[in-house]
Chains A and B, each alone.
Chain A
Amino acid sequence: MKYDIVVIGAGIAGLTAAIYGKRAGKNVLVLESRTYGGQIVNTPSIENYPAAMGISGFEFATKIYEQAITLGAEIKFENVMSITDGKIKTVHTNQNDYQSPVVIIATGSKNRQLGLPNEEKLLGKGISYCATCDGAFFKNKVVAVIGGGNTAVEDALYLAGVAQKVYVIHRRNQFSAESVMVEQLQKQPNVEFIFDAQVTELIGEQKLSAININTNNQARIINIDGLFVAVGRVPENEKFANVVTLDQHGYIIAGENCETSAPGIFTAGDCRTKEIRQLVTAAGDGAVAANHAIQYLNQLNQD
């Protein structure tokens, strides 16, 4: 199947690119492996997107999705496995192949895992990466949050209001989260901090029952019902490493013009090298990438 532009990822960056592509009269396909909207869909309230204060992530994502569909973008739920470069590029999914002169990679980022045995197996059975999504199932239970950034502290605050007890386990002895939130967390009576600690083992067969941590070279077993992992996010661009250049962390190297090392392949949003990973910058990238893609297409048609 042939298109003018194939966009990989239906997050805010990818859907914005689709909107701009359609408005320029191009034939656009968006491929998405999970839900449309990307990482923002679980956020209860967005406070910093201009003109949309307090909107939920779900509502925000659904509005952009509907806008893209209304303008005629085609969206398919397929997982992109690889790209074959060339004047006409082929995007291979787990189900089909699609051809287009232009590809926009907008694959965002995913939760960083601890990388421990059992982690995948216990996902949804005591291990979670989203406190606002799964916290409600741990009412009056004992949980732990791993991490020291804004997300970890926010998660711990939320869980302190739900769970009986919350352990906050951090590998350093200081939080990198905003101090206002940290102070708020320190006031919670049911939160216990464990610093300079690393999780070494996830214990449980059918479901998580305990974790083994290492603090100051001592092992300690903590019995918990739930573990919330908030140790940052990582890009998932390995499958494209053979066509575009990645930096040492796996982000696609591109400047503000969203051009990658490969002519005709553009990138937008959290998956590229950039300073600020936010909705508004993802949307900005979507517009820039689409416009450069359109110029590239028009140039091709003239040649």
Chain B
Amino acid sequence: MVYQVNEKNFEQEVLAAKELVVVDFNAEWCGPCRMLGPVIEQLAEENQDVKFVSVNVDNSGELAQQFGIQSIPCVVFLKKGEEKTRNVGFAPKSVLENMIKELK
């Protein structure tokens, strides 16, 4: 499951989470974001111990700004509220899988 989050529940769903959180910043109009969507869904399916959330940058501009997002798709990996690493642009499943493995 990939949860949709916004400014209201970000603190609780992402920053306060104990497990690794993968935040997918995306938008409707962004082609590569829509290509990445199914990859994120699959990873969420296969990594039940990791939390996957999605942020629509058009609806949650403040969050995008807070994270200094200037290009999407952008996937940010957080642990205990702290950013560990990020990937800008489309990445094949294997690349994201490795990033998750290293951080889990």
What CA separation (Å) do A34 and B32 show in the bound complex? 10
Q: Which among A32, A43, A57, A126 is the interface contact of B70 at CB below 8 angstroms?
A: A126
Chain B contact residues, CB within 8 Å of chain A: 27, 29-32, 34-35, 57-58, 64, 68-72, 74, 88-90, 92-95
What CA separation (Å) do A138 and B68 show in the bound complex? 11
Of chain A, the residue at the smallest CB distance from B90 is A35
A125 near B70 (CB under 8 angstroms)?
Answer: yes
Of chain A, the residue at the smallest CB distance from B74 is A124
Of chain A, the residue at the smallest CB distance from B58 is A136
What CA separation (Å) do A30 and B95 show in the bound complex? 18
| Min CB gap B53→A, angstroms | 20
Residues of B within 8 A of A37 (CB): 31, 35
Residues of B within 8 A of A61 (CB): 31
A58 at the interface (CB under 8 A from B): yes
17 contacts between A and B (CB under 8 A): A32-B92, A34-B89, A35-B32, A35-B35, A35-B90, A41-B31, A42-B31, A78-B92, A124-B70, A124-B88, A125-B70, A134-B70, A134-B71, A136-B57, A136-B58, A137-B57, A138-B70
What CA separation (Å) do A123 and B74 show in the bound complex? 13
A98 at the interface (CB under 8 A from B): no
Q: Which among B31, B92, B95 is the interface contact of A57 at CB below 8 angstroms?
A: B31
What CA separation (Å) do A56 and B31 show in the bound complex? 8
The verdict on A137 contacting B69 (CB below 8 Å), with A34-B89, A34-B90, A77-B94 known, is: yes
Q: Which among A32, A78, A128 is the interface contact of B71 at CB below 8 angstroms?
A: A128
A44 at the interface (CB under 8 A from B): yes
What CA separation (Å) do A108 and B98 show in the bound complex? 28
What CA separation (Å) do A123 and B89 show in the bound complex? 11
Of chain A, the residue at the smallest CB distance from B94 is A77
A42 near B32 (CB under 8 angstroms)?
Answer: yes
B88 near A133 (CB under 8 angstroms)?
Answer: no
B71 near A124 (CB under 8 angstroms)?
Answer: yes
| Min CB gap B100→A, angstroms | 16
Of chain A, the residue at the smallest CB distance from B29 is A44
| Min CB gap B64→A, angstroms | 7
A274 at the interface (CB under 8 A from B): no
Q: Which among A62, A124, A226 is the interface contact of B35 at CB below 8 angstroms?
A: A62
A residues 123-175 near B (Cβ < 8 Å) are 123-126, 128, 133-134, 136-138
- 18 A-B pairs besides A124-B88, A138-B70 with CB distance below 8 A are A35-B32, A36-B35, A41-B32, A42-B31, A44-B29, A56-B31, A61-B31, A62-B34, A78-B92, A123-B71, A124-B71, A124-B74, A133-B32, A133-B72, A136-B58, A137-B69, A137-B70, A137-B71
Residues of A within 8 A of B70 (CB): 124-126, 128, 134, 137-138, 207, 226
A137 near B64 (CB under 8 angstroms)?
Answer: yes
As a 0/1 sequence over residues 195 to 220 of chain A, the CB contacts with chain B under 8 angstroms (1 = contact) are 00000000000010000000000000
